[in-house]
């Protein structure tokens, strides 16, 4: 068991190293959300937003921290896993004694760790440069929400990898699903009274609940520690939000398990094709 | 190169024992009943055209694919259920190069080494495959041949007893192939059992103790590279030229039918080449003739292979 635990840690480090050496992923996960924070505070100033009763940065820093977490898990994990599969890396790993669960936990663990890093970086920049206030009373609920959200989005990332036809298609599918949903999930646009159908559709997807469960912890106008099922007026509550996130996470995990393959897609054919060209 | 082993000891110390192996995709039989035994420490080359069932067979032995019927034992394990302890004792080098481009040679090797209970030291493996100077180089800076050598290094890092090599030199230039061959020969010296697939008959000839030819999902011939397909006993071809004016009647009886009178070329095929040559050379010596272009040829492994797999083109 001790040996397996060491292997898990080693696999996480291995995946982290790949992440840091791949500038595209690191940029979109760490730098891109920060650019939005700078942009929004520059455009709107950092005064109180009347509709919400908090400053621009106090609202956007946690929302964009969640967006960074979704990039690290759903987008980045989904894309890199699909590409590794098409390169034949997953098949090769499957031929070694490394238990498959350790490989998957290594990938997911790395993605969640990087999500934490992206979130921590965002909140630190908010606190240091934009007077974002951290509230001790809600900190634990915020952290739990963040970890659960990152875990659920990692499951959805593996689902994405399992469902896309090829690694080439993965970035397009990831962005075409995450970005529109982000726009109706209070990540980029603040609107306290959106059209009812936008509100309804947004509530179906997990991102809005992720943003609310984490972001409301940074709203000084709300009361409570967050550990209750459903929010009364002016109260912070994560229970119902986390339930929606968990349902999506479990659903993603089930689909991932059902459709995940270790072999390159169309592998048999493409491999035969290749060897026919080079073999004779 | 061959090490003859009696039938009893083969069973006692076989690394691979396959009987009645079948693999169906729907109604299509990719493998139609294969029996195969590989002794410990033996190098077996599995050759055959694309789609003959070669890859499917090897992937079943590696545990990558499930079989439809038959019994398969590799190092005493059923590859389907052998799991971790089975994989700790085998090394697989797939045909497709699959490496993380941004990582360094030694980083990848160290991570794979940790997966095995009794791995070889990274530096030793780096030296075996001749990548000492590239220890700290990123994969993306390696040439194609160097990347293949890193794949081979990953295949042996766990100090396996049995190594699967799937077309290890496809796409190599001739000098890279020679290097790879000597590498594989080193592994043989270490006593590893090796199953390799290849398209190249010279590769099978050079590396293998035994060759199995697979076609249409079954093994159509099996034997040492020197003797497979009746190669050792088969007809030898004797060729030489005689000067102008020599007619059929002048030649010794064994060679008469082989003369082409237009250019003096004599070609004959015989199952008793020693006797035939003796007659021909005695005849020439009596007359003080030098036989121009005298050659004796056995069918090459390639000839045998093409005959066994139904000839030519598509291969």
Digit-coded pLDDT (tens) for A82-106: 999 999 999 999 999 999 999 999 9
- Same domain for B27 and B73, yes or no, is yes
Q: Is A280 within a domain?
A: no
Q: Considering only CB atoms, which chain A residues are within 8 Å of B154?
A: 92
- Same domain for B200 and B254, yes or no, is no
pLDDT at site A275: 33
pLDDT at site B254: 85
Span A47-85, pLDDT tens digits: 988 877 899 999 999 999 999 999 999 999 999 999 999
Query: What is the token pair recorded at B208?
Result: 């293998």
| pLDDT, average across residues A174-196 | 90
| pLDDT, average across residues B152-171 | 92
Q: Is B313 within a domain?
A: no
Span B262-302, pLDDT tens digits: 888 898 888 888 889 999 999 989 888 888 889 988 888 88
Query: How many domains would you assign to chain A?
Result: 1
Higher pLDDT, A1 or A175: A175
CB B238 within 8 A of CB B277: yes
Q: Is B56 within a domain?
A: yes
Higher pLDDT, B5 or A86: A86
DSSP A226: E
| Nearest CA distance, A45 vs chain B (angstrom) | 41
Is residue B209 within 8 angstroms of chain A, CB to CB? no
Nearest residue, CB atoms, B170 vs list A22, A91, A278: A278
Q: Is A156 within a domain?
A: yes
- A216 to each of A22, A141, A198, how far by Cα in Å? 33, 10, 20
Q: Is A272 within a domain?
A: no
Pairing between strand A48-49 and A54-55? Answer: antiparallel
Q: Is B178 within a domain?
A: no
To test the contact with chain B by mutation, choose from A83, A96, A106, A276 the residue with the greatest count of B C-beta atoms within 10 A, namely A96
Least confident of B30-39, B87-96, B279-288: B279-288
* ipTM entry: 0.88
DSSP string, chain B: ------HHHHHHTEEEEEEEEEEEETTEEEEEEEEEEEETT-EEEEE--TTSSHHHHHHHHHTSS--SEEEEEETTB-TTT-HHHHHTTEEEE-SS----TTSBHHHHHHHHHTTSTTPPPHHHHHHHTT-GGGTT-BGGGS-HHHHHHHHHHHHHTT--SEEEEESTTTT--HHHHHHHHHHHHHHHHTT-EEEEEES-HHHHHHH-SEEEEEETTEEEEEE-TTTGGGTTTS-EEEEEE--TT--GGGS-GGGGGGEETTTTEEEEEES-HHHHHHHHHHHHHHHT---EEEEEEPPPHHHHHHHHTT-STT-
Domain that holds residue B288: 236-297
Is residue B55 within 8 angstroms of chain A, CB to CB? yes
Give me the half-sphere count of Cα atoms (radius 13 Å) on the Cβ side of residue A21. 15
Span B187-222, pLDDT tens digits: 999 899 999 999 888 899 899 999 999 999 999 999
Residue A131: pLDDT over 90: yes
Q: How far apart are CA A133 and CA A139, in angstroms?
A: 11
Higher pLDDT, A257 or B251: A257
CB A148 within 8 A of CB A48: no
**Interchain proximity A21–B102, CB inside 8 Å:** yes
- Same domain for B9 and B78, yes or no, is yes
pLDDT at site A193: 82
- Same domain for B207 and B261, yes or no, is no
Percentage above 90 pLDDT, chain A: 82
Q: Which of B209, B194, B205 is CA-nearest to residue B1? A: B209
Q: Is A140 within a domain?
A: yes
| b/e sequence B49-87, b meaning 16+ C-beta within 10 Å | bbebbbbbbbbbbbbbbebeebebbbbebebeebeeebb
Q: In sequence order, which residues have a C-beta less than 8 Å from that of residue B154 and are 6 or more positions away? A: A92, B91, B93, B108, B109, B112
CB A241 within 8 A of CB A61: no
pLDDT at site B153: 94
CB A49 within 8 A of CB A59: yes
Average pLDDT, chain B: 88
Is residue B175 within 8 angstroms of chain A, CB to CB? no
Q: Is A273 within a domain?
A: no
Reported confidence tier of residue B311, pLDDT bands at 50, 70, 90: low
Percentage above 70 pLDDT, chain A: 94
Most confident residue range from A57-66, B232-241, B260-269, B301-310:
A57-66
Q: Is B174 within a domain?
A: no
**Interchain proximity A97–B85, CB inside 8 Å:** yes
Nearest residue, CB atoms, A99 vs list B84, B94, B167: B84
Least confident of B127-131, B147-151, B155-159, B232-236: B232-236
- Same domain for B213 and B131, yes or no, is no
Is residue A5 within 8 angstroms of chain B, CB to CB? no
To test the contact with chain B by mutation, choose from A11, A80, A95 the residue with the greatest count of B C-beta atoms within 10 A, namely A95
**Interchain proximity A18–B100, CB inside 8 Å:** yes
- Same domain for B269 and B214, yes or no, is no
Domain that holds residue A188: 2-263
CATH classification of the domain holding B6: 3.40.50.300
Q: How far apart are CA B222 and CA B111, in angstroms?
A: 39
Q: How far apart are CA A217 and CA A71, in angstroms?
A: 21
**Interchain proximity B102–A99, CB inside 8 Å:** no
pLDDT at site A50: 80
Instruction: Give burial (CB, 10 Å; 0-12/13-18/19+) of B199.
Output: buried
Average pLDDT, chain A: 91
pLDDT at site A23: 87
pTM of the entire structure? 0.86
| pLDDT, average across residues A17-36 | 92
Query: What is the token pair recorded at A192?
Result: 């306290």
pLDDT at site B263: 83
Percentage above 90 pLDDT, chain B: 53
Query: How many domains would you assign to chain B?
Result: 3
Higher pLDDT, B311 or A280: B311
Most confident residue range from A19-28, A105-114, A195-204, B170-179:
A105-114
Q: How many CB atoms lie within 10 A of CB A171?
A: 18
- Same domain for B1 and B80, yes or no, is yes
- Same domain for B142 and B290, yes or no, is no
- Same domain for B216 and B78, yes or no, is yes
Span A139-177, pLDDT tens digits: 999 999 999 999 999 999 999 999 999 999 999 999 999
Strand order across the B236-241 sheet:
B259-260, B265-270, B236-241, B292-297
């Amino acid at each position: 068991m001790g040996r397996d635990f060491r292997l898990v840690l080693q696999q996480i480090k291995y995946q982290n190293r790949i992440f840091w050496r791949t500038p595209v992923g690191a940029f979109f996960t760490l730098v891109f959300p920060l650019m939005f924070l700078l942009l929004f505070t520059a455009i709107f100033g950092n005064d109180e937003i009347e509709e919400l009763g908090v400053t621009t940065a106090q609202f956007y820093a946690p929302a964009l921290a969640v967006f960074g977490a979704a990039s690290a898990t759903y987008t980045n994990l989904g894309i890199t896993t699909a590409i590794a599969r098409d390169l034949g890396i997953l098949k090769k790993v499957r031929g070694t004694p490394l238990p498959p669960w350790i490989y998957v936990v290594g990938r997911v663990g790395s993605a969640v760790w990087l999500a934490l890093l992206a979130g921590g970086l965002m909140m630190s920049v908010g606190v240091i440069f934009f007077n974002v206030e951290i509230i001790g009373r809600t900190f634990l609920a915020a952290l739990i929400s963040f970890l659960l959200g990152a875990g659920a989005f990692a499951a959805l990332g593996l689902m994405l990898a399992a469902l896309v036809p090829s690694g080439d298609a993965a970035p397009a599918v990831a962005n075409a699903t995450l970005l529109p949903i982000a726009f109706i999930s209070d990540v980029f646009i603040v609107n306290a009274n959106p059209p009812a159908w936008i509100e309804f559709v947004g509530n179906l997807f997990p991102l809005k609940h992720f943003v609310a469960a984490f972001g409301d912890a940074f709203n000084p106008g709300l009361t409570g520690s967050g550990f209750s099922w459903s929010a009364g007026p002016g109260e912070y509550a994560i229970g119902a939000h986390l339930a929606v996130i968990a349902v999506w996470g479990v659903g993603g995990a089930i689909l991932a398990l059902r459709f995940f393959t270790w072999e390159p897609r169309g592998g048999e054919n493409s491999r035969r094709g290749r060897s026919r060209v080079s073999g004779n | 190169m061959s090490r003859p082993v009696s039938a009893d000891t083969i069973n006692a110390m076989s690394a691979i024992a396959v009987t009645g192996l079948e693999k169906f995709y729907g109604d299509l039989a990719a493998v139609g009943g294969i029996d195969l035994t590989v002794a410990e420490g033996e190098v077996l080359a599995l050759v055959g055209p694309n789609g003959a069932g070669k890859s499917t067979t090897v992937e079943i032995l590696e545990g990558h694919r499930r079989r439809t019927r038959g019994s398969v034992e590799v190092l005493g394990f059923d590859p389907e259920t052998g799991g971790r302890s089975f994989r700790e004792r085998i090394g697989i080098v797939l045909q497709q190069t699959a490496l993380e481009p941004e990582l360094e040679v030694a980083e990848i090797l160290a991570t794979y080494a940790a997966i095995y209970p009794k791995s070889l030291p990274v530096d030793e493996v780096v030296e075996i495959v001749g990548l000492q100077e590239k220890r700290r180089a990123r994969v993306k800076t390696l040439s194609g041949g160097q990347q293949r050598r890193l794949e081979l290094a990953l295949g042996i890092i766990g100090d396996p007893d049995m190594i699967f090599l799937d077309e290890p030199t496809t796409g190599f230039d001739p000098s890279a192939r020679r290097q790879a061959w000597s590498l594989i020969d080193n592994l043989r010296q270490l006593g590893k059992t090796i199953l390799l697939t290849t398209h190249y008959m010279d590769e099978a000839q050079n590396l293998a103790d035994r060759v199995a030819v697979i076609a249409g999902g079954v093994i159509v011939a099996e034997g040492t590279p020197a003797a497979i397909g009746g190669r050792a006993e088969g007809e030898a071809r004797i060729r030489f030229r005689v000067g102008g004016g020599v007619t059929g009647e002048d030649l010794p009886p064994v060679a008469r039918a082989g003369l082409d009178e237009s250019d003096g070329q004599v070609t004959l095929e015989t199952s008793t080449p020693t006797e035939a040559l003796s007659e021909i050379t005695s005849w020439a010596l009596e007359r003080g003739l030098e036989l121009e272009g005298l050659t004796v040829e056995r069918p090459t492994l390639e000839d045998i292979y093409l005959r066994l797999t139904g000839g030519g083109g598509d291969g």
